[in-house]
């Protein structure tokens, strides 16, 4: 009887050894590479800009890290950019102490910023200057007749997404 059990054990091992083992499907993680402008920062703990702008008063003059897409850039020298703030809104970004600029060809790119949200009243002169920097027509510039209160982000550091690569895990 013990020979039968030994034989059954050997057969069982052979059968289990011949079966295909299920492999875990390989996943692909997108890894984003960034260029850094201004202070060195990381992308960790960045909040979506739309989340910040849902309750901007809670973030006034406090350090914060945000993530958003670029919708416009100063075409004169890259001294400001505008970001998608959700729900059809945009927010202008300036750079602390005018200490750095960003490339002019980053429209549509993802960025991570570290800095401060401020509420600012822009004079007609400032608004017209910004419209000129953005390449607006003379008619659009002349149509600016009133000061405007708006949110602005003053960035200390900016990460601009460059390329996506896939890595296997």
pLDDT tens string 44-70: 999 999 999 999 999 998 999 999 999
> pLDDT: is 134 or 117 the higher one?
117
Q: 28-33 long-range CB contacts below 8 Å, 24 or more apart?
A: 28/166, 28/167, 28/168, 28/169, 29/166, 29/167, 29/169, 30/164, 30/165, 30/166, 31/164, 31/165, 31/166, 31/167, 32/110, 32/161, 32/162, 32/163, 32/164, 33/161, 33/162, 33/163, 33/164, 33/165
CATH class of the domain defined by 29-168:
mainly beta
pTM: 0.70
pLDDT tens string 82-117: 999 999 999 999 999 999 999 999 999 999 999 999
Q: How much is the pLDDT for 8? A: 44
Mean pLDDT of 126-145: 89
């Amino acid at each position: 009887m013990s020979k039968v059990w030994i034989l059954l054990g050997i057969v069982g091992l052979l059968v289990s050894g011949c079966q295909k083992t299920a492999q875990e499907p390989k996943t692909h993680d997108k890894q984003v590479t960034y260029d850094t402008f201004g202070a060195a920062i990381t992308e960790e703990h960045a909040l979506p800009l739309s989340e910040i702008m849902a309750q901007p008063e809670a973030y006034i003059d406090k350090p914060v890290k945000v993530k958003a897409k670029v919708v416009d850039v100063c075409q004169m020298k890259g001294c400001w950019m505008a970001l998608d703030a959700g729900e059809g809104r945009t927010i202008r970004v300036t750079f602390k102490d005018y200490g750095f600029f960003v490339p002019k060809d980053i429209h549509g790119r993802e960025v991570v910023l570290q800095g401060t949200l401020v509420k600012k009243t822009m004079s007609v002169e400032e608004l017209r200057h910004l419209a000129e920097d953005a390449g607006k027509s003379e008619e659009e510039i002349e149509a600016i007749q009133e000061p405007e209160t708006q949110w602005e982000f003053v960035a200390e550091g900016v990460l601009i997404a460059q390329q996506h690569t896939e890595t296997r895990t």
